Structure 1
Amino acid sequence: MPLHVSPAPAPALRSVLTALGSPTALQEARTPSLRAAQGPATAELPLPVHVLDRGAPEGTARTRFTSWRFLVRCGERALAAAETRLTADGWAFSHFFEGPYVGATEQALREAELFSGLYQPRLLSVPELYMLTLWLHGSTGDDGSEGALEASDVLIPLAPAPPGIAAYLPHRVSDFLPALRRRLTPTVATAPAAAPAAATAPTTQAPPLLGSPA
């Protein structure tokens, strides 16, 4: 079933289109593929970008909205992405970038279109794990910048995914979020209790043994 892509704010889209039409902005972009593109480039598939709030209380799934991201397409494929951010003066173009997440986002979106049900696509970043996921939000009436993670939402890790997490494998939030939180929670190593001294041992006490790393 087709995904319900929320429209980005008009000023955000205009800022990207202006940058695409600016030779200076394209020359300054660290995107060789975009600079070498033959033919016009278009900004498509706006996706709201959220960051997982690791400080949220246990049992909650809070996120922080940060930006709108557009895939920049030339011909049949996406060459780069464009990021826009909200400033004191409104929405403004931030930067172009390329890399594996551009193609990975396209692939995950194609696979998500085959799912049953209707979803609103978003991106959810977990910076501490160097992880980006396609977030399929079930409440399609929500504004792309609003709405919390719901238990029935779906997260699809993009490639490259962290070790031990399979890219492109969809997970329900109710199943996946606890595993992510365990990874984000540091494990504190504790020193083992010292054995009681024998009756004939010296009266000076040896320092405790250090615990093994977590």
Structure 2
Amino acid sequence: MPLQVPPAPAPALRSVLTALGSPTAVREARTPSLRTAQGPTTPELPLPVHVMDRITPEGVSATRLAGWRFLIRCGDRAVAAAETMLTPDGWAFSHFFEGPYITSTERALHQAEALQQTYQPRLLSLPGLYMLTLWLHGDCTADGAEGHPAATDLLVPLAPAPPGIAAHRPHLVAELLPVLTHRITPAPLLITPA
């Protein structure tokens, strides 16, 4: 089924287009593949990036929107990504980057298109686990900038995934969240009597 990619805020897209058109921004980026790209580059597949800072004792995830990520395509493949962030003046370009999450994101999106249900793709970052997932939200009409993972949503860990968590294997939030909660929750301090 086709994915229903949420529309990015127009100022976020404009800031990425401006950065791509700036020789200084591209030259100073730590992205050799972007600097050496042959042909035009275009920002595609805007995905809202949500961050899960914590999971409450009740197992509820506390997420916040951190920005929008655009895959930068040159020819038939993504060569880099561009991040935007919300500032007091609105959406602004943050930085370009490359690395394994670019190809992993593309792979997970292709996998998601083969699923029987239509989803709204988002990214969910779990900084406490150094983990990034493709979050497939079941409500395709929802505002991509808002919300929390629902129990029936899918999370697809991107490679590299933390040890013990298989990359590119879709998990229901209801199944994966308890595992993540256990990993994120600090172990209680054991005090031994003197």
Q: Distance in 2 between matches of 1:116 and 1:135?
A: 16
Q: Distance in 1 between matches of 2:62 and 2:192?
A: 37
Q: Distance in 2 between matches of 1:31 and 1:59?
A: 38
Aligned to 2:109: 109
Aligned to 2:51: 51
Name the structure, 1 or 2, with higher relative contact order (CA <8 Å, separation 6+). 2
Contact 2:69 2:83 in 1 (8 A): yes
Aligned to 2:5: 5
- Structure 1 moving runs of 4+ over 2 Å: 188-193
Q: Distance in 2 between matches of 1:189 and 1:77?
A: 48
Q: Distance in 1 between matches of 2:54 and 2:39?
A: 43
Q: Deviations over 1:133-190 (max 9, x none)?
A: 0000011111111121100000000000000111001100001001100001111352
Q: CA deviation at 1:62?
A: 2.5
SS of 2:61's partner is coil
SS of 1:62's partner is strand
The answer to whether the aligner puts 1:124 opposite 2:128 as a matched pair is no
The answer to whether the aligner puts 1:39 opposite 2:20 as a matched pair is no
Contact 1:133 1:156 in 2 (8 A): yes
Q: How many residues align?
A: 194
Q: Distance in 1 between matches of 2:57 and 2:8?
A: 30
Contact 2:53 2:127 in 1 (8 A): no
Aligned to 2:68: 68
SS of 1:134's partner is strand
User: Which amino acid letter does the alignment assign opposite residue 72 of structure 2?
Assistant: V
Identity %: 68
User: Which amino acid letter does the alignment assign opposite residue 138 of structure 1?
Assistant: G
Aligned to 1:86: 86
Contact 1:84 1:95 in 2 (8 A): yes
More strand as a share of residues: 2
Contact 2:34 2:80 in 1 (8 A): yes
Q: CA deviation at 1:191?
A: 4.9
Q: Distance in 2 between matches of 1:161 and 1:55?
A: 19
**Larger of the two Rg values belongs to structure:** 1
Superposed CA RMSD in Å reads 1.2
**1:141-156 alignment to 2 at 5 Å?**
141-156=141-156
User: Which amino acid letter does the alignment assign opposite residue 108 of structure 2?
Assistant: A
Contact 2:5 2:121 in 1 (8 A): yes
Aligned to 2:135: 135
Query: Normalising to structure 1: TM-score of the pair?
Result: 0.88
SS of 1:27's partner is helix
